[in-house]
Structure 1
Amino acid sequence: MALNLDLETMQRVVRSLDPSWRAEGFGRLEGGSTEVCRIDVAGAGAQPLVLKIYPDEPAWLPAKEALAAGWLKGLVPAVPRWLRVDASRAILPRRFAVLTWLPGRPLRHWLRDPGIGSAYRQTGELLRRLHAIPMQAYGYIRGDGIETPRATNAEYMAGAFEDVFRRFRDLGGDADLGRRLERLAGESFDLLTESSGPVFCHDDFHQGNLLALLGPDGDLRLSGLIDFGNARAADGLFDLAKALFCCAHEDGRSRQPLLDGYGPIDHPEPERALRLYTLFHRASMWCWLTRLGHEAAAEDGPGGLLRDLREMAR
């Protein structure tokens, strides 16, 4: 439920950073599953800020995003800096963070721009730069680092596949389809041993979390990357498969320029590996949408994902 925000509340948020600053206006930003606002700030050294309001659960999410963004300091294009995480509920009845503001609008705003192909190529280049950031182990990231670190990709992904198929069953997924998908995945687990090491994975890399703007020359340029709530340490192809899956769902033109920008894939059987990871992401997305209560037969929701999973299982 959206909060009833006003300028006085924004003033208190801004002054929690610097008592000499003042909030001059604010507005909600588009997209996202949480409430996010831009605050225009006046005062010495002041720049626009972003207020991000978090749900009660998971409790570790603000700390996780701040941690992940810190690892990406210096990335080009930029990521926001988390300036303050407040769990006191003294200013707002929910936990919140204050971030630096980045210029641009979500890439999905620019789908009709003639430079969208170039932007998708830049997207692939950015994903490659993320995957150049090594991690110490494989595992999901929480507020204090990697949860249950695993030494090998095969060990980590075997557990991840086991978990996603269990959730599929628990949420009422077709039992026969689940068994066939589990068998199909198991037949390709040999591919998981070829990982070149754990790297930073965004795991939510799509047109809604990529910012872009028109440069002085009129060309479309990526200007930022946001939202690190899904981040994990994993094999780079795990993240590439998720990016291709999500971006192509929104715009089928994205796949090839994204791959071109990403460049050579260090795996002896890249297409088979991408297909295996895509199976995981489709099953995981079905579980997530179903748990949120989305219409089971919706073509752009669980129903469409089931169609794709059945096709994979044939």
Structure 2
Amino acid sequence: MDVAQLARDALGVEAGEVIERTGGQLSTVYEVRTAGDPLIVKVYSPQWRWKQAKEVHVYSMLEPEVGGSIPRVLHVGAGVTILSKVDGVPLSQVEPPDWRAMYAQLGELLRRVHRIGQPAYGYLTDEILDPLPDNGQYMRRQFAKKLQEFEQLGGDAHLHAEIATHVGRHAHLFADNTAAVLCHNDFHEGNILVDPDTWRVNGFIDVENAIAADPLVDLAKTIQYSVQDNAEKLAGLADGYGAVPADRIDLYRLYHSLELWDWFTSIGETTYLDSIARDMAKLVER
């Protein structure tokens, strides 16, 4: 595929150098240099066109609240999406002088995302799949699914029982959330783009995991994947987002660890399984 010509035809721009950024099962991503701002061109395999539709749908929901902090959808064609490029480098690749101030910006940005209400709970494509009317039904379904996978994938039987008991004991907390919102569901440092000269958060990318859920599900994943027990990051997140109940956060952190253990095991990645299992054991003791 002539990506430069595709950009010329779709947008009428003078396209120059094309750089392949990533290539994988879902899509191949290119950066196209132009006389103006660079473009991002994503080319989807036919079986993943639904992911393309999801991306376009989620960015359209985000635009009114966080426009300027996300890529703009410039063109949608058969298996091809052209986006504007958000400037910056991934936060995971730099070391800010003030983590608290940085995470305050992340908290404020995530709080704005969570203003976008959803009519039900469930996985998002360009609609909510298998929607459920309340958080209790949704999270019980999700835990049951991931616990079943954990068992089928050879997870420790004692830990399985401990998690199931812990969730059963604390499931009443799910009812504390009464309205679903749009959740990025991968709001970690690898998807946050920052300016290393000013330490300003420019925006975020990668909405392929988006769901409609309790906003604390989203916040908990950020904590579990990028914050852990870093006091400065936690304080900054609270500065920007606001105070949240720790008990529900811990329950969702357990869910994200369980989901990650299942995923790594299913693809044969064993490096982190023991540490994830230890994280889960600590969370059920709280």
- Name the TM-score, length of structure 1 as normaliser: 0.82
Question: Which residue of 2 is the match for residue 179 of structure 1?
Answer: 161
Write the letter of the residue equivalent to 1:82.
V
Question: Which residue of 1 is the match for residue 74 of structure 2?
Answer: 83
Q: What SS does the corresponding residue of 2:2 show, helix, strand or coil?
A: helix
1:311 deviates by 2.5
Deviations 1:264-301 (A, max 9, x none): 33xxxx11111111111100011111112102xx2xx2
Q: Determine if the alignment matches structure 1 residue 61 to structure 2 residue 44.
A: no
Question: Which residue of 1 is the match for residue 5 of structure 2?
Answer: 12
Contact 1:63 1:85 in 2 (8 A): no
Shift of the 146–211 alpha-carbon distance from structure 1 to 2, 3 Å rule, reads same
Count of residue pairs brought into register by the alignment:
283
| CA–CA separation in structure 2 for the residues paired with 1:256 and 1:28 | 38
Q: Determine if the alignment matches structure 1 residue 135 to structure 2 residue 106.
A: no
1:222 to 167, 192, 201: 201
| CA–CA separation in structure 2 for the residues paired with 1:54 and 1:289 | 24
Contact 1:177 1:313 in 2 (8 A): no
Write the letter of the residue equivalent to 2:115.
A
Shift of the 251–78 alpha-carbon distance from structure 1 to 2, 3 Å rule, reads same
- Segments of structure 2 that go 5 or more residues without pairing to the other structure are none
- Name the TM-score, length of structure 2 as normaliser: 0.90
Shift of the 290–49 alpha-carbon distance from structure 1 to 2, 3 Å rule, reads same
Q: Determine if the alignment matches structure 1 residue 282 to structure 2 residue 233.
A: no
Deviations 1:178-229 (A, max 9, x none): 1221111111000001104111100000111111115xxx531111111100
Question: Which residue of 1 is the match for residue 217 of structure 2?
Answer: 238
1:309 deviates by 1.4
1:234 deviates by 0.4
Contact 1:116 1:220 in 2 (8 A): no
Contact 2:4 2:17 in 1 (8 A): no
Q: What SS does the corresponding residue of 1:50 show, helix, strand or coil?
A: strand
Write the letter of the residue equivalent to 2:264.
L
- Segments of structure 1 that go 5 or more residues without pairing to the other structure are 1-7, 88-94
1:98 to 82, 95, 111: 82
1:253 deviates by 4.4
Q: RMSD of aligned C-alpha atoms?
A: 2.4
Contact 2:4 2:18 in 1 (8 A): no
Question: Which residue of 2 is the match for residue 47 of structure 1?
Answer: 37
2:243 to 255, 258, 264: 264
Write the letter of the residue equivalent to 2:256.
H
Question: Which residue of 1 is the match for residue 248 of structure 2?
Answer: 273
Write the letter of the residue equivalent to 1:255.
L
| CA–CA separation in structure 2 for the residues paired with 1:133 and 1:60 | 22
Shift of the 202–250 alpha-carbon distance from structure 1 to 2, 3 Å rule, reads farther
| CA–CA separation in structure 1 for the residues paired with 2:57 and 2:67 | 18
- Aligned-pair identity in percent equals 33
Shift of the 263–155 alpha-carbon distance from structure 1 to 2, 3 Å rule, reads same
